[in-house]
Structure 1
């Protein structure tokens, strides 16, 4: 098994604080999540998180117009410059103070930052300049404000910028020192000025204040008296520029009960968006100040708002509950509406196909996350207390969860509903859960009692209670091959139960410490346990003896908490693992706990393969091995623990609605009780290409990075892209396909794959060398979700399985990842086809009934494409040209489809497309 895992994505957290940034084309959204940055692709439903980390939470981010440089700054003023395309860090820099705003010029030559009451303008790093040894070169510092600067906005020609401040004023500055006389102060507001904007022609400046006032400024002359109006109208052509100045020409007010928190303006469409502290946001058309829409995204304040370049999509962020929303105001629909867990995550589970992750939290909610998009697909809120464990059934359509509310629930993931609730004779807080591989029974345990409860899934009845432990049962685990249950307890024993055996008598395995976590090898022949003393012990179930031991204490990275009076080296708080999991082959084990490390072990050799650092965020306890001695005091401990909310200047920032001393509930964004670093659950993906860890900051996904630019396979001198295209032109499809795979160029493989005629697919797959079978299946699984050639891909899959079925059966482990992707494609397309066919069937029946009841259309014939007029109950959709010629092929197709997850369980449906569509699809070329 490969061990070169690297961080790839962060799920469960979509927004923390700071500003949101759209890319230039308006299809991607950058959101700060803690000390990282996540990019959401709103068109392709994909997301990724940049691998770099800040030492503190990010406060501002900015992207240049060319989308090459990303600049992010944390709350301490430390900046990181990143290449946006390659996702690599270029430079670190420290601005040495809190940065309240950050903006690139429209031409990307400069960027301005608001540091305290000053504005600093810096040159954007450019590789084309000679003799520039420093990445950041400061152009100029602008002063004039008497309080902290809040925002900065550039003019469209990159010559001027306007800043707003808490001193109730705005100031206009020029980038060029020769135009310094243009500097101007805009005063008149009665509260802090939140933002200021230029119009598209730069003739009008709009300023928005916190108390809900919108002022319109124009460069005009002083209003004249009535007696002088006639004379001035005659001399309009000869106006003296010295008599012109910026003046307020119009005042508008929002008249809201709450304060203005953020605003954004789109000059081309003259659209103004304003967010308030009560969660409300409004859309206005300027300069007429017409209210277009008035909506709310919740009861918490809107912290940031942004508009994409086309002016169609609006992005909102609320930090209190971690809400992220993308709204299309013209159609009044949500493009994206996401929110993470309100409280800490307790458990996670991969779906059997590896495409989704289910998380459970202390807030009583269960969320289903899509791995590729990073979006939450569904949320279950039926539990009334903290959810402690989630498990999938073997087929992946049913999920089980246990909670402290005394129930175990079963969830239907097709209809997204709760269909079973399991309870015992007395109310018990369940903390552990295990599901039998056959799906017949489920088991749960509690820290309050010493028994294990077993229910029947079909009847929801309590069928048995396993007794034998003399301490609280901490964890349960089933194997994959048979119904063998392993349980571990604080009584320092492990018990293995045969649920369907004749005797329930078991011999306990004695462990020298309390057991915190348990995992069973997929073949159900070995069990691994993590103890309180930091040991990972392996037990042979058949021979009832210990087969191995790993001492994890020396591998754990333990940090120091702010309130600790001792060093991290002497701390025993986190010198153990709370969660462990086997890989699919049983040769690798991943372990984590209440510390800052994830350890990957090789089981046969009992050695550490890799160690991952969970987080570098200094806002979280336990990430630092040594504390800053300058921040420590004799009486109060660390200065970071002091409550400084009373020093805030704004009243709404000083108000604290949380309960005194409460660590949960209230406002989770308050840092009076700092969160501690920990991993509550960890699990390998069924595809073995990644593993997920539920941490304090969210769900961390570590995967094997197979995105290679050039990775040739069995390359020869004569194999070039030109020779591959020449073979394709000569219709040597097999040779062209093999040469494309040897070059491993995706565009070349795609071109050859799409060029093979549908009648020659069977011949090509029959002669295809077995070394390329897995690569071809993986390629089809990757492109099938975005390809429009449904039948074409299905014919390829059927031909490969028919020609190389024996080889695939002997090497199942090599094709695991490829078949998961193909199964996901078949399941998704199948649901869409069934839905469309049902709608067409009902429409056809309605039209046929209306035809029969009509007196004026007795001789009319209703032809509905895709249906048989003689059989109303049958929907005809051709699967392939060959499948309609032979009844045997139809039966084989049906069997194959039922084995691949029951794509077409509806007997009335016969799969595929029309012959004309398949001929058109053969001629299309997807570059």
Structure 2
């Protein structure tokens, strides 16, 4: 059993707060998601999340113009400098105050950081300077504003930068000492200035305030001083009288406030986002409107434009939306939205290509496991989704879901529709779900009548109601044989039902405490039971006796809430497991609960193999082991005291939420979500697992990369020797093995395609099993974009024919590679079928024309 699972990706959330950053080429966009940073590749339709974590939620990110350094800063001003290419952390730094804006200069030499009323200018770390005492060297601190700074923007030549503030002014600062005379104050707005920008030639400045006023400033002599301009002395005097003056005033006549703005200097395009969810595009300086569109129901928190000016990126934190819009074609490049409430359950599709999640917001989302994007969202449920299941055999495209709205629904994942809905005679809340392996019977447990309801999937009729539990049914699980159903309840019992038998007597497995979760081993001979006292008991299903016990209270416990007056050791809230999952061979068990830990146990030896920490985010409750006593006051924890009444803006002081509400509009109240794991599932390949948590959907996987092994090399194994074996000796196997030892992709590709078609079965039969997985993985990676479809299929056929028995006996080790090959072959098959269907009539026409031409040629020959 592999235990080296590492964080791989974060799904289920795409944007939380802060700013967005396009890569210099405009093909990728970076988004802060909690205390991590996600990167969305808009060209290749993929995404990944950086493995490093901040101590708190990220407030600002910035990427240098060379796309080599990424700097992210959290809410407390603690920054992390990352090598963007290698995705490795280079340095940690503390700016000691909240950071409102963060920008690299266009030449990449400086980093500007705004902290409250000050601007800190730092030199960018440079690998060419080998005698640096510290990675960050401060160049200068700028002051002058009388209130907090809201934004910062650079000039194109990196000599000047503009700042905006809540003191209703904008200021011009210079980086070089000889340009210090250019520093000035731009005043005149009547509300908070949201943004200030230089034009492309740096002769014009545009400032925009929250009340919708747009001012155009030019560097010129004021009109009241324009006299005797022909006199040379007057001209010299006039140069000293030049000032930034307002030449034009324009206004957005909207009832809503401006929340964000972005300006593209090359095209003179200004994009403004409003609190109503609408954005507007104008061309400056004429202020002619290009487009207006409403994209959200809530505030647009941030907007940015890529380098070419073609794509606009919007972030809305209230609903967790991330949008990339191409304004010329008026189409979405990316439109993603995470769950805006807690994720309750998840399930892998049988082929492992999709992950489906259900949440308290009543939505079901289908995520692509490879790209990390949401494919479709189902909104038919009117209340929280509690469980999701696939049928293990039969159709792999049918998904079942249960909800607190009293319905169980069946979904077609090919046409993306709800084709069957199951309900009970009385309106009850369904808390759990199970589907038999054949997909013919669906079962759901109730919180209200304590019964298990059984429906026929084909007819939609209620078949039976299994009564016996004396408390709410907490979880259900079907055995592989399809006739045995395990149910657990808060009445401290687990019951095994034979749903096709005529006798109704069921012998319960008595537990010491309320049962919170169960899991049946893949061979259906053992059931794992998690109880409220933190223990996991293992029962033999056939014998009806307990065969093992794991006490996990101390393994799972850890983390205090900010209002706790007791230590984490004495806390009872995080000392029980809420979700269990067996691995594919049933030798180990994953368990999680209301804690920051996920525990992996060896069942036979009843020992803890490894603990995975799902988050170190201090913005969440339950991640700290020890609390700082200075944050505890007589009124409660300092961070939980509502200080919104001290805000200067009326709309920031108004609290529209219900008293005592802990859900809904959390942004207006001091509420911290608690860390927990609601569901854990292994992927069908067994090489990764997914955990739904407060942070989102976390994916942990075994690293599939092939590492360089020097023990597999000697002085004779070189690229030249491999090519010599290929071209001179025509020893394809020797050349291929040498290429695998060197692990050079270009060399593997060249030798692989040099093998003649008639020699493929011979070479495939002699490939050592040591390199079999690597060869299959290589074929799957190049097959999707390669035109040599028949050549790759011949290789796959030869490998499976020669090594089929070995692959079958070691199917767990090769599951990932086999599924990758299966997936790409299935995709090519669908593409060929689609192309054939689209050109069916053209093929018929060509064949008829060919037959007609052949007949005409034969007639000419006879004559």
Q: Which residue of 1 aligns with 2:496?
A: 496
Q: Which residue of 1 aligns with 2:350?
A: 352
Shift of 1:502: 5.7
Alpha-carbon spacing, 1:763–1:139, altered in 2? closer, same or farther (3 Å):
same
1:661 is the counterpart of 2:660:
yes
- Partners of 1:408 and 1:516 lie apart in 2 by 21
Q: How does 1:695-710 map to 2 (within 5 A)?
A: 695-708=693-706, 710=708
Q: Which residue of 1 aligns with 2:733?
A: 734
Shift of 1:671: 4.3
Shift of 1:13: 0.7
Aligned-partner SS, 2:145? coil
1:384 is the counterpart of 2:382:
yes
Q: How does 1:402-441 map to 2 (within 5 A)?
A: 402-441=402-441
Alpha-carbon spacing, 1:794–1:782, altered in 2? closer, same or farther (3 Å):
same
Aligned-partner SS, 1:564? coil
Q: Which residue of 1 aligns with 2:612?
A: 612
Alpha-carbon spacing, 1:870–1:664, altered in 2? closer, same or farther (3 Å):
farther
- Partners of 2:846 and 2:502 lie apart in 1 by 56
- Partners of 1:865 and 1:233 lie apart in 2 by 87
Q: Which residue of 2 aligns with 1:480?
A: 480
Q: How does 1:651-800 map to 2 (within 5 A)?
A: 651-665=650-664, 667-708=665-706, 710-711=708-709, 714-730=712-728, 731-800=730-799
Shift of 1:504: 4.9
1:241 is the counterpart of 2:218:
no
Q: Which deviates further from its counterpart, 737-746 or 674-683?
A: 737-746
Shift of 1:30: 0.6
Aligned-partner SS, 1:491? coil
- Partners of 2:504 and 2:745 lie apart in 1 by 56
- Partners of 2:565 and 2:464 lie apart in 1 by 49
Q: How many residues align?
A: 848
Q: Which residue of 1 aligns with 2:341?
A: 343
Q: Which deviates further from its counterpart, 216-225 or 530-539?
A: 216-225
- Partners of 1:650 and 1:502 lie apart in 2 by 70
One of 314, 321, 324 as aligned partner of 2:322:
324
Aligned-partner SS, 2:779? helix
Q: Which residue of 1 aligns with 2:858?
A: none
Q: Which residue of 1 aligns with 2:557?
A: 557
Q: Which residue of 1 aligns with 2:450?
A: 450
- Please give the per-residue CA displacement for 1:661-718, whole angstroms capped at 9, x wherever unaligned: 22222x2334423211111111111111111111112111111123355246844442
Aligned-partner SS, 2:527? strand
Alpha-carbon spacing, 1:265–1:233, altered in 2? closer, same or farther (3 Å):
farther
Shift of 1:764: 2.6
- Partners of 2:352 and 2:231 lie apart in 1 by 76
Q: Which residue of 2 aligns with 1:900?
A: none
Alpha-carbon spacing, 1:728–1:499, altered in 2? closer, same or farther (3 Å):
farther
Q: For structure 1, which runs of at least 5 residues remain unmatched after alignment?
A: 845-862, 873-927
Q: Which deviates further from its counterpart, 425-434 or 813-822?
A: 813-822
Shift of 1:424: 2.3
- Please give the per-residue CA displacement for 1:341-361, whole angstroms capped at 9, x wherever unaligned: 121111000111112110001
Alpha-carbon spacing, 1:671–1:725, altered in 2? closer, same or farther (3 Å):
farther
Alpha-carbon spacing, 1:478–1:763, altered in 2? closer, same or farther (3 Å):
same
Alpha-carbon spacing, 1:81–1:603, altered in 2? closer, same or farther (3 Å):
same
Q: Which residue of 1 aligns with 2:859?
A: none
Shift of 1:746: 3.0
Aligned-partner SS, 2:577? coil
Shift of 1:725: 2.4
- Please give the per-residue CA displacement for 1:718-769, whole angstroms capped at 9, x wherever unaligned: 2222222222334432222222223333333233233334444333323333
- Please give the per-residue CA displacement for 1:867-895, whole angstroms capped at 9, x wherever unaligned: 644999xxxxxxxxxxxxxxxxxxxxxxx
- Partners of 2:215 and 2:735 lie apart in 1 by 67
Alpha-carbon spacing, 1:751–1:256, altered in 2? closer, same or farther (3 Å):
farther
Shift of 1:802: 2.8
Alpha-carbon spacing, 1:469–1:459, altered in 2? closer, same or farther (3 Å):
same
Q: How does 1:69-88 map to 2 (within 5 A)?
A: 69-88=69-88
- Partners of 1:374 and 1:867 lie apart in 2 by 43
Tell me if structure 2 keeps the 8 A contact 1:713–1:742: no
- Partners of 1:717 and 1:473 lie apart in 2 by 66
Aligned-partner SS, 1:630? helix
Q: Which deviates further from its counterpart, 800-809 or 339-348?
A: 800-809
- Partners of 1:52 and 1:309 lie apart in 2 by 27
Tell me if structure 2 keeps the 8 A contact 1:713–1:741: no
- Partners of 1:620 and 1:739 lie apart in 2 by 51
Aligned-partner SS, 2:474? strand
- Partners of 1:193 and 1:518 lie apart in 2 by 57
Q: Which residue of 2 aligns with 1:2?
A: 2
- Partners of 1:745 and 1:403 lie apart in 2 by 51
Q: Which residue of 1 aligns with 2:219?
A: 219
Shift of 1:285: 1.6
- Partners of 2:164 and 2:457 lie apart in 1 by 63
Q: Which residue of 2 aligns with 1:580?
A: 580
Q: Which residue of 2 aligns with 1:637?
A: 636
Give me the TM-score of the superposition, normalised by structure 2. Answer: 0.94
Tell me if structure 1 keeps the 8 A contact 2:80–2:92: yes
Aligned-partner SS, 2:92? strand
- Please give the per-residue CA displacement for 1:475-521, whole angstroms capped at 9, x wherever unaligned: 11123355422112222222222334465543322222211100111
Alpha-carbon spacing, 1:588–1:713, altered in 2? closer, same or farther (3 Å):
farther
Q: For structure 2, which runs of at least 5 residues remain unmatched after alignment?
A: 852-863
Q: Which residue of 2 aligns with 1:253?
A: 251
Alpha-carbon spacing, 1:436–1:576, altered in 2? closer, same or farther (3 Å):
same
Q: Which residue of 2 aligns with 1:59?
A: 59
Q: Which deviates further from its counterpart, 128-137 or 593-602?
A: 128-137
Aligned-partner SS, 2:839? helix
- Partners of 2:504 and 2:734 lie apart in 1 by 61
Q: Which residue of 1 aligns with 2:861?
A: none
Tell me if structure 2 keeps the 8 A contact 1:105–1:158: yes
Tell me if structure 2 keeps the 8 A contact 1:679–1:695: yes
Query: What root-mean-square deviation, in Å, do the aligned CA atoms of Structure 1 and Structure 2 show?
Result: 2.3
- Partners of 2:211 and 2:763 lie apart in 1 by 72
- Partners of 1:177 and 1:216 lie apart in 2 by 27
- Partners of 2:787 and 2:813 lie apart in 1 by 27
Tell me if structure 1 keeps the 8 A contact 2:14–2:320: yes
Q: Which residue of 2 aligns with 1:923?
A: none
- Partners of 2:487 and 2:274 lie apart in 1 by 53
- Partners of 1:739 and 1:481 lie apart in 2 by 47
- Partners of 1:721 and 1:785 lie apart in 2 by 26
Shift of 1:251: 2.0
Tell me if structure 2 keeps the 8 A contact 1:518–1:529: yes
- Partners of 1:269 and 1:384 lie apart in 2 by 46
Shift of 1:603: 1.3
Shift of 1:59: 0.8
- Partners of 1:5 and 1:866 lie apart in 2 by 56
Tell me if structure 2 keeps the 8 A contact 1:73–1:80: yes
Tell me if structure 2 keeps the 8 A contact 1:712–1:744: no
Aligned-partner SS, 1:295? strand
Tell me if structure 2 keeps the 8 A contact 1:482–1:524: no
Q: How does 1:846-857 map to 2 (within 5 A)?
A: none
- Partners of 2:367 and 2:419 lie apart in 1 by 21
- Partners of 1:499 and 1:870 lie apart in 2 by 63
Shift of 1:779: 2.2
Shift of 1:639: 1.5
Alpha-carbon spacing, 1:604–1:786, altered in 2? closer, same or farther (3 Å):
farther
Q: Which residue of 1 aligns with 2:35?
A: 35
Tell me if structure 1 keeps the 8 A contact 2:557–2:568: no
- Partners of 2:128 and 2:332 lie apart in 1 by 42
- Please give the per-residue CA displacement for 1:799-821, whole angstroms capped at 9, x wherever unaligned: 32233333333332232112222
Q: Which residue of 1 aligns with 2:860?
A: none
Tell me if structure 2 keeps the 8 A contact 1:13–1:33: yes
